[in-house]
Structure 1
Amino acid sequence: MIDFRYHIVSLISVFLALAVGIILGAGPLKESIGDQLTGQVEGLRTEKDQLRAELDAARARLEGTDAFVAGAAPRILDDVLADRRVAVVELGPVDEDVAANIDAQIAAAGGSVTTRVRTTEAWSAQDQADARQSYAASLADYLPAEASAGRYDLTLARGLVASLSDADPADPDALTDDAAVLRDLLVGGELVEVLTAGSVPADVVVVLAPRAESVDGDETPTQEALEQVALVGQDLATAAQEGTEAVVVVGGAPGPGDLVSRVRSDEDLAASIATVTGMGTITGQVNVPLALAVRVAGSVGHFGTGSDATAAIPPVVTLEPVDRTVGTEDAADAPAGGEGTEADG
């Protein structure tokens, strides 16, 4: 049984330990402990200053690179797209300034953004699968039989591409009646929002992939949700490459679950669909029309950053002019990958 004397001895031991610690800390160990702590603080301060200097140097290099690219862009892009009409599809919310800057680079390259649309959450939400299947059946009536075959999400993607690019054989500057019906069905089904309405058919398509945190309006989306968005984005890119001269998928920094990484990691997709990263940077924005031109010329590249990138910047190519004469094969109806040559310099 523990008695009062045991508690007294315990208290005395505690006070003795405190006294010894105070004596040692104030005496023999004072200098060594103080010197050690001072040395650690000085080391941390030096390391922080070094990291700050490295960060400032990296920022200065990046700003210099951006300034060079911005200054050189007009000369690099001059007539690269040769009057191509571009439809832009935002696969989720995209910053307005970023979208406007990409439009500006397309214009600097001699192209024009004819239509801009954005898919809604219903385009990829798993709880909307039954509704999408129903709308895909409705779209099939206005698509060729081969375009309505297969998965319903792919049928929806083909319907969207057709609504943007199907030209009237009698008037290459006008969309077909079926294209207008397809667009009305997609908008009426709240699957697509029209941001900029166009009346002329597109030759090529740019797909702007959303950042991961914007998926379904959720800042921490599940891996399953990310994969679903990437899957329907893959269908859209596939349909665009089938139905137009070229498609380029554009994203931010590559990361797990994003559309660009999905395309680049799939051997078949990577062989047919071009990609660009860094859409929030001037380099990425300039790369968009360059990558489109490369794809129209018959090559596939993956430009920007990431371990699967084939080059940081696309080569400059010269495309044949678009022939929209009635009675001839329009460039937009030709198989993807027309002739093109690399420009000198």
Structure 2
Amino acid sequence: MIDFRYHLVSIVAIFLALAVGIVMGTTLLQDPAVQSAKEVAAAVTKSNDELRAEIDTLRGREAGNDTLIASSTADLVAGDLTGQQVLLIETPGSSSTVREATQLVLEQAGAEIPGRITLTEKFFDPKGKGVLDGLVNQLKPANMVFPATATSWDRAAALLAATFVTTDQAQVGTPNPETADVISTFEAGGLLSVEGEPAKRATLAVMFAPEKAYEGENAETQAGALVSVADGIDVGGKGTVLAGLAAPTVLPGDAIAAVRDESEVSKRVSTVDTADMPAGRVAIVYSLREQLSGRAGQYGMGKGATAAIPTETSATPSPTTESGS
């Protein structure tokens, strides 16, 4: 019969053997394993340090470029928009800081800003299309006819264009008597608000895209609604630029990408996705001049941009230019 002492000795022997095995195993593997880990860690640290240095260099160069452009902006845009009135249009989620900086550059270019309108989330809410349609049908001039394929926002954009912009220089700075109730009714309905006197019709418009792409199941619809407004205002005036920030990745609800993806709209509406940078604000001015010449372009650094900035052009319309750009 095996006594307790035998069991105890056996158990101790087993654990001792395990301990010896562990010690021998770690001792044999310690040097190459630790050395390999050290080499990997050193390589990762070196790579990170190099990337940080590269980022710091790029940031420094960007800051230098921004400083140079900012100090030269007044000279770069001087007189480019003299005699033009520019309507500013804010959308839900757009940056007021970007809008204020852009307005300053537009004024440096000689443009007059009669006022601005701010479209609300309710305006772009797909659930409110019935209300929007009802107001448009109630307020539109008798001679305003919509295509059978027009969406709710296409029709609303046409009405807003008749209210806020014109291609007729003789009408610039004067309200449209046929759309006199549009602003007050849309304001009462919570669809927009105004600052200044935007009813004194402008020739051009800058529309500011949301800083972040629309999200959720209605993202594409809302981005499409914003495209409709930009396009409608462009057709009703002498040109529109949709300005904002380039998205890190293109999402279905990104308004600037939506314009660039619409081949027909992108032939009329210009986009600038660097509106938060001094160079981008110069690009907005140059884009408006390009619009006056009957052309459009997609500018910035994001997907779909064809150049960082347009070539400065004469504002004389081409012979083939029709109403709108």
Normalised-by-shorter TM-score class: 0.7 to 0.9
The answer to whether the 8 Å contact 1:302/1:308 transfers is: yes
Between the aligned partners of 1:169 and 1:315, the Cα distance in structure 2 is: 25
Report the counterpart of residue 325 of structure 1 in structure 2.
none
Aligned: 1:192 with 2:192: yes
What TM-score results when the alignment is normalised by the length of structure 1? 0.81
What TM-score results when the alignment is normalised by the length of structure 2? 0.86
Between the aligned partners of 1:117 and 1:139, the Cα distance in structure 2 is: 18
Query: Is the strand fraction higher in 1 or 2?
Result: 1
Between the aligned partners of 2:79 and 2:182, the Cα distance in structure 1 is: 32
Q: 5 Å matches for 1:72-111?
A: 72-111=72-111
Report the counterpart of residue 299 of structure 1 in structure 2.
295
Between the aligned partners of 1:10 and 1:210, the Cα distance in structure 2 is: 72
The answer to whether the 8 Å contact 1:73/1:286 transfers is: yes
Report the counterpart of residue 143 of structure 2 in structure 1.
144
Report Cα offsets for 1:227-251 as digits up to 9, x if no partner: 1221111111121121101111112
When residues 23 and 176 of structure 1 are mapped into structure 2, their CA distance, relative to the original with a 3 A threshold, is: same
Aligned: 1:225 with 2:218: yes
Aligned: 1:335 with 2:323: yes
Report the counterpart of residue 3 of structure 2 in structure 1.
none
The answer to whether the 8 Å contact 1:82/1:320 transfers is: no
Which sections of structure 2, spanning at least 5 residues, go unmatched? 1-8
Which stretch shows the higher mean deviation, 130-139 or 117-126? Answer: 130-139
Alpha-carbon deviation of 1:16? Answer: 4.1
Between the aligned partners of 1:202 and 1:65, the Cα distance in structure 2 is: 33
Q: 5 Å matches for 1:266-345?
A: 266-320=262-316, 335-337=323-325
Aligned: 1:237 with 2:233: no
Between the aligned partners of 1:70 and 1:191, the Cα distance in structure 2 is: 35
When residues 296 and 17 of structure 1 are mapped into structure 2, their CA distance, relative to the original with a 3 A threshold, is: farther
Pairwise CA RMSD of aligned residues? 2.9
Alpha-carbon deviation of 1:319? Answer: 2.4
Report the counterpart of residue 5 of structure 2 in structure 1.
none
Between the aligned partners of 2:81 and 2:11, the Cα distance in structure 1 is: 86
Report the counterpart of residue 256 of structure 1 in structure 2.
251
Report Cα offsets for 1:256-309 as digits up to 9, x if no partner: 221111111122112121111122222222211110110111111111113422
The answer to whether the 8 Å contact 2:95/2:210 transfers is: no
Which stretch shows the higher mean deviation, 189-198 or 43-52? Answer: 189-198
Which sections of structure 1, spanning at least 5 residues, go unmatched? 1-7, 216-220, 322-333, 338-345
Between the aligned partners of 1:284 and 1:36, the Cα distance in structure 2 is: 48
Q: 5 Å matches for 1:32-47?
A: 32-47=32-47
